[in-house]
């Protein structure tokens, strides 16, 4: 957490609050995690975009502010006990909240991502035409990695994490442990369709707020997609389709949840 839906929901909530407004200052006490933030001082925010799990503040004068929320980061409209940075705007403030201090902020020349090389290598966005069944099938055929690990690889497709990887593979009927080279073309089509459908539904639901409550929207409201999760976090519970207990396994150090009957 947060994954693409949570970052996109945050972007949509912040956009009317920041676009066209000037950042007077960004206040923090951690120059190691939040680098080059002074480059944003006095500059107007022209655009607020997203790439994968990164927020991209496009600033006047050819500068950019990159924000990665880490596992527990997010923006709030009021200060919290875990406020790590304050964005002072012309007519208010935004508070960067991050209990575990895993998020990062970089001020850079626009498009200069040498400090964040993943942005240079990142794969297509899930809703872009480049993330096609033919593309995914080709990437899968070239590897023996489990299909879940391939979906989490940001160089293959941007923004997917544990939650939505599990949910998409459940809907596609593909077991997360299946080796990539064994996924057929029609199954790759099903995975692409399921990824897009799950992400779209999650964005519409405001993202997923899990038991730790680490993700909330900027206004403090929770997301609601967690009530629609079929397999993620439900190990031992019955599959919503067939009733078989959901299993949890580890794949390359990450958890994966699936139904042994519905997912081949």
Q: Which residues are catalytic?
A: 2-3, 53, 254
Rounded CA gap, 19 and 34, in Å?
A: 21
Rounded CA gap, 110 and 94, in Å?
A: 22
Please give the order of strands across the beta sheet that includes 63-68: 34-35, 104-109, 63-68, 54-59, 43-51, 22-28, 83-89, 92-97, 74-76
Cβ atoms 64, 43 nearer than 8 A:
no
> What is the distance, to the nearest Å, from the Cα of residue 83 to the centroid of all Cα atoms in its chain?
21
Tell me whether residue 147 is exposed, middle or buried, using C-beta atoms within 10 angstroms of its C-beta: 0 to 12, 13 to 18, 19 or more: buried
CB atoms within 10 A of CB 212: 10
Rounded CA gap, 75 and 189, in Å?
A: 36
CB atoms within 10 A of CB 204: 12
Rounded CA gap, 205 and 167, in Å?
A: 15
Q: CB within 8 A of 129, min separation 6: which ones?
A: none
Cβ atoms 43, 61 nearer than 8 A:
yes
Rounded CA gap, 164 and 172, in Å?
A: 12
């Amino acid at each position: 957490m947060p994954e693409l839906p949570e970052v996109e929901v945050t972007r949509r909530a912040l956009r009317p609050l920041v676009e066209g407004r000037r950042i007077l200052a960004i206040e923090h006490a951690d120059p190691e995690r939040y680098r080059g933030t002074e480059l944003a001082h006095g500059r107007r925010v022209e655009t607020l975009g997203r790439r994968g799990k990164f927020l991209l503040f496009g600033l006047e004068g050819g500068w950019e502010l990159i924000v990665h929320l880490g596992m527990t980061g997010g923006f709030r409209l009021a200060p919290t006990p875990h406020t790590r940075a304050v964005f002072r705007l012309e007519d208010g403030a935004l508070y960067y909240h991050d209990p575990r201090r895993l998020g990062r902020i970089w001020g850079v020349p626009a498009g200069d991502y040498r400090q964040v090389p993943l942005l240079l290598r990142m794969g297509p966005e899930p809703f872009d035409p480049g993330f096609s069944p033919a593309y995914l099938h080709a990437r899968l055929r070239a590897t023996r990695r489990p299909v879940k690990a391939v979906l989490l690889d940001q160089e293959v497709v941007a923004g997917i994490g544990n939650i939505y990887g599990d949910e998409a593979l459940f809907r596609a009927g593909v077991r997360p442990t299946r080796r990539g080279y064994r996924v057929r073309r029609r199954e790759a089509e099903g995975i692409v369709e399921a990824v897009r459908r799950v992400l779209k539904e999650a964005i519409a639901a405001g993202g997923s707020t899990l038991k730790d409550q680490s993700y909330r929207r900027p206004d403090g409201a929770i997301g609601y997609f967690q009530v629609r999760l079929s397999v993620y976090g439900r190990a031992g519970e019955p599959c919503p389709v067939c009733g078989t207990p959901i299993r949890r396994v580890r794949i390359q150090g990450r958890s994966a949840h699936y139904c042994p009957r519905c997912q081949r």
